[in-house]
Amino acid sequence: MKPSHVCSLFALVCSSAVSAQSYVIGVEKLAFTPHYSIDAQGQYQGFARELFDLFAQTSGVELSYKVLPVEQLLPALLSGQVDFKYPDSESWAQEQKAGKTLSYSQGVVDYVDGMLVAPQRQGQPMEQLKRLAMVNGWTPRGYQERIDAGQIELTYSDDLRQMIRQALRKDTDGAYFNVVVATHYLDNIRARPGALVFDPELPHNRGSFHLSTLKHPGLLERFDRFLVEQHAKVAELKARYQVEANLDSEHIGLEQWKVDFLKRQQSKDANGG
């Protein structure tokens, strides 16, 4: 091969490497399993990591993850330190976002935030709630009026582990958190399945996690198409990580074995067994 041809080939390879699109997603330094968490080496992992890696593989872009404390994540997006923020929602931190034109993806995964109580307290009216355990930075939607009136006292914790401990010790009457995450923690990490249960009769909030950006709405459109075109693979990831487990049923917040047992009982009753 002639030297000029070698140089041309080398230039083409270098040009392709340089032209690869590379973006940084800002993510939370938070144990939020099964949605996401940070391992001992500081690496982002969980459902969200696999989802974004799959998007990168199918879209020909390069993605890296910048792990930041929750309170630093939005400022990092607004100042351009990261290209994207996950998770995010148009309804979050509206005062901080005032005057900024952010773009949001379609919903990535649905969630329910609500009250977890001891089983014997399930079904009691909200008036019986006097002390409520919270993780710093969370907002207990539906309870603010009673909080402002001094009828509910908030006890803040640094993380889920500390908050759950308070509720299990009955230092508080309940804990407000993401139901799937709290249930996963109780079932798999704390090894206390059923010690706290979601109370669907108390105020709770349904929503979706979104990917947001200030400067790259075009890539969000590609991400939205990916969610549609790769729906089967995304659904498989959600099922494997159980990030939306039973969200649309009356069994939300129950361990899966209990759900299966109840369904078998309902089937037997329906068949006269």
Q: What per-residue confidence (pLDDT) applies to 91?
A: 92
Specify if 247 maps to a domain.
Answer: no
Q: What per-residue confidence (pLDDT) applies to 191?
A: 76
Question: Are residues 36 and 167 both part of a single domain?
Answer: no
Q: What per-residue confidence (pLDDT) applies to 16?
A: 43
In 10 A of CB 241, how many CB atoms? Answer: 21
In the chain, the amino acid numbered 231 is: H
Specify if 64 maps to a domain.
Answer: yes
Question: Are residues 95 and 156 both part of a single domain?
Answer: no
pLDDT < 70 stretches in the chain = 1-20, 248-273
Task: For residues 155 and 138, give the distance between their C-alpha atoms in angstroms, rounded to a whole number.
Answer: 12
Question: Are residues 122 and 104 both part of a single domain?
Answer: no
Secondary structure class of 88 (helix, strand, coil): strand
Say if pTM beats, i.e. exceeds, 0.85. no
Question: Are residues 186 and 225 both part of a single domain?
Answer: no
Q: What is the pLDDT of residues 153-207, one digit of tens each?
A: 999 998 899 999 999 998 899 999 999 999 999 988 877 888 999 999 999 999 9
Specify if 135 maps to a domain.
Answer: yes
160: CATH? 3.40.190.10
Question: Are residues 117 and 199 both part of a single domain?
Answer: yes
What domain range is 182 assigned to?
112-206
Question: Are residues 152 and 85 both part of a single domain?
Answer: no
Task: For residues 240 and 254, give the distance between their C-alpha atoms in angstroms, rounded to a whole number.
Answer: 17
Specify if 269 maps to a domain.
Answer: no
Task: Confirm if 252 and 200 have CB atoms less than 8 A apart.
Answer: yes
Q: What per-residue confidence (pLDDT) applies to 251?
A: 55
Q: What per-residue confidence (pLDDT) applies to 269?
A: 57
Specify if 185 maps to a domain.
Answer: yes
Q: Among 114, 115, 119, which residue's Cα sits nearest to residue 194?
A: 119
Specify if 128 maps to a domain.
Answer: yes
Q: What per-residue confidence (pLDDT) applies to 20?
A: 63
| Residues forming a β-bridge with 25 | 65, 84
In 10 A of CB 231, how many CB atoms? Answer: 10
Specify if 221 maps to a domain.
Answer: yes
Question: Are residues 184 and 70 both part of a single domain?
Answer: no
Question: Are residues 119 and 155 both part of a single domain?
Answer: yes
Question: Are residues 88 and 194 both part of a single domain?
Answer: no
Q: What per-residue confidence (pLDDT) applies to 47?
A: 98
Question: Are residues 64 and 85 both part of a single domain?
Answer: yes
Question: Are residues 157 and 139 both part of a single domain?
Answer: yes
The torsion of the CA quartet 225, 61, 24, 33, rounded to 10 degrees, works out to 60
